[in-house]
Amino acid sequence: MKTVKQNAIKNMIHTNISIILLICIVLILTITYKYITYKKDVQASLEVSVDVEELYNETKWEENKRDKDVNSNTSDWELLLVNKKHNIPETYSIELQEIESTHMVDKRIAEALNQMLSDARKEGLSPIICSSYRTNEKQRRLYNNKVDEYKRQGYGLEEAKELASYWVAIPGTGEHETGLAVDIVSKNYQILDEEQEKTQEQKWLIENSYKYGFVLRYPTDKKEITMINYEPWHYRYVGIENATYMKEQDMCLEEYIEYLGQFEIEEYQEELI
Ligand SMILES: [Zn+2]
C-alpha cells in the first residue's frame, strides 16, 4: 500500500516537473521570439533614422545652395578684382575719359558717374570727386608717403608698409589704377576719415549709389576680407545688376566674386562629366 502511494506521489512529481519544464520551454521560446522581433525592429528603426538624417542633410544642402540670381561672370570687366592678393593684370589697358573737368575715369563708367553726381546735386547735395584714376607712379608716390608717415611715428619699415597698405593700396593692387573707382566727399567736409559717413552726401551715396552701379567698396564690417580700412568715400563701379545684388545680400566684392565663382566651378565640372 505504501509503495502504491509512493508511486502515485512519484508520478505526480514527474508530471509536475514535466509541466514546469514545458512551461519553461514555452517561456524561453516566447522570450527568444520577442527578442528576435525586437532586434529586427531596432535595426529597422535605425535604418529609417539614417535615411531620415540623409534626407535632412540633403534638404538642408538644397536649402543652403544659392541659385545664381544674376547673369554675371567673374571675368566681366566691371567685376575686375584688385586687392592685396590680386594685382592689376599686366595686360590691363584703360581708355580714359575726363570727368568733372579735372578727373579721369574709365570711359565705360563716366556716364553712370555723371548721372549719380547730377542726381545727388538735384537733391541739394554737394558731392565732389577728390580722387579718380591714378597712374601706377602716382599710386607709388602716395603709398611711399604713407609709409614715410608711419616711419616718422617710429615704426620699422616692414610694420610701416603693413600699416600703410590699409590706407593706401600697394602699387599695382589699387583700384584707382583701374579707373573704375573714385573717392567722393562732401564739399562741406573734405577730410578722409570716418566722420565722412555722417555727411548728407555720404548718406545719400551709401543709400543710392547701387542704382548707378556703384558700391561702397570698403565697408567697415568687411575689413577682414578687403584688408582695407573703412573708407566711406571710395566708390567702385561694378554695374547696376551686380551692385544691386551685392547691396541686397550685403556682400563686398571679394564675397561676390566667390559667390559667382562657385557656379563657374560647377559649370566646369559639368563640362568635364
Ligand atoms: Zn579711394
Residues 207 and 244 in one domain: yes
User: Where is the domain boundary, 65, 85, 110?
Assistant: 65
The model's pLDDT over 165-192, given as tens digits with 9 standing for 90+, comes to 999 999 999 999 999 999 999 999 999 9
Asked, for residue 264, whether it belongs to a domain, the answer is yes
What local confidence, expressed as pLDDT, does residue 164 receive? 95
- Domain of 190: which CATH number? 3.30.1380.10
Average pLDDT over residues 5-17: 71
Residues 32 and 109 in one domain: no
Asked, for residue 139, whether it belongs to a domain, the answer is no
Distance 122 CA to ligand 1 centre (A): 24
Asked, for residue 218, whether it belongs to a domain, the answer is yes
> How far is 254 from 175, CA to CA, in rounded Å?
13
Position with higher pLDDT, 65 vs 239: 239
Average pLDDT over residues 102-106: 96
If one counts the domains in the chain, the total is 2
Residues 218 and 96 in one domain: yes
Residues 2 and 126 in one domain: no
Asked, for residue 146, whether it belongs to a domain, the answer is no
Residues 37 and 8 in one domain: yes
Distance 210 CA to ligand 1 centre (A): 17
Residues 259 and 198 in one domain: yes
Distance 177 CA to ligand 1 centre (A): 10
The catalytic position among 158, 231, 254, 255 is 231
State which residues form the domain around 106.
Answer: 77-133+179-272
216 close to 42: Cβ distance less than 8 angstroms? no
User: Where is the domain boundary, 65, 88, 107?
Assistant: 65
The model's pLDDT over 135-168, given as tens digits with 9 standing for 90+, comes to 999 999 999 999 999 999 999 999 999 999 999 9
Q: Mean pLDDT over all residues of the chain? A: 87
Asked, for residue 150, whether it belongs to a domain, the answer is no
Which H or E run includes 127? Answer: strand 127-131
DSSP letter string, 167-220: TSPPTTS-GGGGT-EEEEEETTB---SGGGGGSHHHHHHHHHGGGGTEEESS-G
What local confidence, expressed as pLDDT, does residue 201 receive? 98
User: What pTM did the predictor assign?
Assistant: 0.73
- Is residue 231 packed enough to be buried (19+ CB in 10 Å), middle (13-18) or exposed (0-12)? buried
Distance 81 CA to ligand 1 centre (A): 15
Residues 60 and 82 in one domain: no
The model's pLDDT over 214-265, given as tens digits with 9 standing for 90+, comes to 999 999 999 999 999 999 999 999 999 999 999 999 999 999 999 999 998 8
Please confirm, yes or no, whether 231 is among the known catalytic residues. Answer: yes
Asked, for residue 6, whether it belongs to a domain, the answer is yes
Average pLDDT over residues 65-70: 76
Name the residue among 184, 204, 188 with its Cα closest to residue 130: 184
Asked, for residue 159, whether it belongs to a domain, the answer is no
Residues 13 and 118 in one domain: no
Asked, for residue 49, whether it belongs to a domain, the answer is yes
What local confidence, expressed as pLDDT, does residue 240 receive? 97
Residues 57 and 98 in one domain: no
133 close to 176: Cβ distance less than 8 angstroms? yes
Residues 103 and 127 in one domain: yes
User: Where is the domain boundary, 43, 65, 87?
Assistant: 65
- Beta-bridged to residue 105, according to DSSP, are 97
What local confidence, expressed as pLDDT, does residue 1 receive? 52
